[in-house]
């Protein structure tokens, strides 16, 4: 039963992944419970809510499972999963040029409308889509995936200060884009 495996840490679960099928199933379920939301959020935020995002999400865990048994050294599962997701997403994005403009936010906004959480979330998502890719990714890794700046730096291959700067600029831009709508909230 999976519940028996929740007590194990990531390293121990990885060891079980290398064992028999029953233990591997149980261990994988626990790891999936721990990290699927993070990986899924990354995929749908970077690629948008699309079949591509779902495909990348699935492929990430499949690759993870197939590769993890060959890992002999300790490693960060969350970082490893996000690295796989990132690489797959980058490949997917090469074949697909996203064209988003600020104009499409206009139709969402109506004067004097009281925005609820759902509408605000929609606006935030649209604002995120307007960010440049490097800012967008850093923002997603920080706000959605809860990574530290050092982890973002390591994952994306930039310096910590650069990671911090990207996140800051992304936040500022989102705040600026949403400024007229946020007034309605306050």
Partner 1 sequence: MNNFELINEFLDGALSSTEEEQLFAGLSSDSELRYELKQQLAIKSAIKSDVGAFTPKAESTLSIFNELGLIAPVSVASAGAGNSFVNFLKLNSTLIYTGVISSIATIAVMLLLLDFDMTNSGNSSDHNPKHSSKVDLIKPVETYGKNTLNSGIYEDKSSLKAEPVKVVYKYIYVNEDNKNKQQNISDLAEDNNQNQSFSSIWIDNQQLNDEYSFFDKSIYKSKQGNFANTEVIPIANLWSEFSQNKNFSFEVRGSEYQQNDIRTSNKNDFILPNTGFSFLYKISDEMKIGLDYRRENFYQSFSGFEDGQYFLFEQKPDLVTISMMLKYNPEFLQIYEFKPFLSANIGGNIAGPVGRLMIGSDIYLNNYMYFNLGVDYNLLMYKQNGNNFISGKPGFHIGAGINF
Q: How far is the CB of 69 from partner 1 (least distance, A)?
A: 11
The answer to whether 11 and 39 have CB atoms below 8 angstroms apart is no
The answer to whether 43 and 85 have CB atoms below 8 angstroms apart is yes
What tokens were used for 24? Answer: 């591997």
Query: Quick one: which of 181, 167, 49, 61 has its CA closest to 116?
Result: 181
Q: How far is the CB of 42 from partner 1 (least distance, A)?
A: 9
Nearer to partner 1, 143 or 154 (CB): 143
State the Rg of the chain over Cα. Answer: 19
What tokens were used for 68? Answer: 């993890």
Distance from C-alpha of 142 to C-alpha of 99, rounded to nearest angstrom: 24
Residues that bind partner 1 (CB under 8 A): 2, 19-22, 24-25, 28-29, 32-33, 36-38, 40-41, 44-45, 49, 54, 57-58, 61-62, 65-66, 117-118, 120-121, 123-125, 143-144, 168, 171-172, 174-175, 178-179, 182, 185-186
Q: How far is the CB of 41 from partner 1 (least distance, A)?
A: 4
Nearer to partner 1, 54 or 134 (CB): 54
Q: How far is the CB of 60 from partner 1 (least distance, A)?
A: 9
Q: Estimate to the nearest angstrom the gap between the alpha carbon of 70 and the chain centroid.
A: 25
What tokens were used for 149? Answer: 């700046």
Question: HSE-up of 66 (CA within 13 Å, CB side)?
Answer: 7
Nearer to partner 1, 17 or 155 (CB): 17
Nearer to partner 1, 41 or 155 (CB): 41
Nearer to partner 1, 124 or 158 (CB): 124
């Amino acid at each position: 039963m999976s519940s028996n495996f929740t007590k194990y840490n990531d390293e121990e679960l990885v060891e079980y992944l290398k064992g028999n099928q029953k233990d591997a199933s149980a261990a994988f379920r626990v790891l999936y419970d721990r990290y699927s939301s993070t990986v899924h959020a990354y995929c749908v935020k970077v690629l948008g809510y699309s079949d591509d995002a779902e495909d990348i999400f699935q492929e990430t865990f499949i690759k993870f499972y197939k590769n993890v048994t060959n890992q002999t050294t300790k490693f960060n599962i969350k970082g490893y999963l996000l690295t796989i997701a990132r690489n797959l997403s980058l490949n997917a994005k090469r074949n697909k040029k996203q064209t988003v403009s600020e104009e499409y936010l206009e139709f969402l906004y109506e004067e004097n409308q009281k925005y609820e959480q759902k509408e605000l979330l929609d606006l935030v998502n649209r604002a995120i889509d307007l960010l440049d890719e490097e800012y967008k990714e850093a923002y997603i890794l920080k706000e959605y995936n809860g990574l530290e700046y050092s982890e973002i730096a390591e994952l994306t291959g930039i310096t910590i200060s650069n990671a911090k700067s990207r996140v800051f600029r992304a936040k500022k831009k989102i705040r600026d884009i949403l400024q007229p709508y946020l007034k309605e909230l306050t």
